Amino acid sequence: MIPQLSGHSLLVFVGIPLLVVAVLALLVFASSIADGPRYRPGLSWWAPPVWINGPTATKPDPANLPELPELTGAPGATVTTGTAATGVARTTGGASASW
Amino acid sequence: MPAGDAFTPDQLYDIERAVRYAEDTSGLHFSVYVGGADSETRPFALELFNELDDPDSTVLVYVDPAGRRLEIVTGSLAKRQLTDTAAGLAALTMQTSFATGDLTGGLVTGVQQLGTHAHQPPLLHASDEQHKL
């Protein structure tokens, strides 16, 4: 014969264990919940770039610059545009690694 | 922490403190960039490096978490204090932490190590007189 469980018995034998389990789970996962998503090597990276101690002067956006008057040169003259002048060849050192 | 940010404010504070320590110790500028590269990592790191205010005296630590690549770039003056070998040792330290998923710990330890390696002790003998034996 199956004994009838009263509301009080349910609370003691089911409710309290469930509450204890919930509290323990919260304690275990609290730190990871607070830290947010964690970096896992091999999975995709989700966050926007972060630059600590980056350049102080912001460079003007080329799209917002006023239009320059069109150059008029001698017949047959060519106007060369490009980014070659902006590239600065520096002697650098350092190291590389991958994981 | 807002969803999608790479670091919590506490983690950012730790990294910034490590950067300040490295700068105070070495007298060089340190910069840390964490993000994906538009192209190959080394050329991209050099592009970032050239955007800095004083690249010659700067050490840039570039981390590409998605590509699992790390680049340390030292300027022409900085590499006199921080040799490629020392940079490689710091890269190994960071690599170990990054492989376990600890970006913040790797950056903090690595940047501090770079600053320590680049440390130049003050000259005790400032006189130009040659010592006679």
Domain residues of chain B, as ranges?
A: 9-117
Burial of B67 (0-12, 13-18, 19+ CB in 10 A): middle
CB contact under 8 A, A45 and B92: no
- List chain A residues with CB under 8 Å of B46: 90, 92
Q: Which has more pLDDT, A77 or B6?
A: B6
B97: confidence class by pLDDT, cuts 50, 70, 90: very high
From CA B128, how far away is CA B2, in angstroms rounded?
A: 58
Which tens digits make up the pLDDT trace of B6-29? 888 889 999 999 999 999 999 999
Which tens digits make up the pLDDT trace of A32-67? 777 666 788 877 777 889 999 988 865 545 455 445
Nearest CA in chain A to B1: A36
The CATH number given to B9-117 is 3.10.310.50
Domain, as residue range, for A24:
8-34
pLDDT at B54 exceeding the cut of 60? yes
- Give the count of domains, chain A: 1
From CA B122, how far away is CA B124, in angstroms rounded?
A: 6
Interface A:B, Cβ pairs < 8 A: 143
Average pLDDT, chain B: 87
Q: Is residue A73 part of a domain?
A: no
Q: Which of B107, B100, B82 is nearest to B32 (CA)?
A: B107
- List chain A residues with CB under 8 Å of B98: 41, 99
- Type of residue at B3: A
At residue B30, the 3 state secondary structure works out as strand
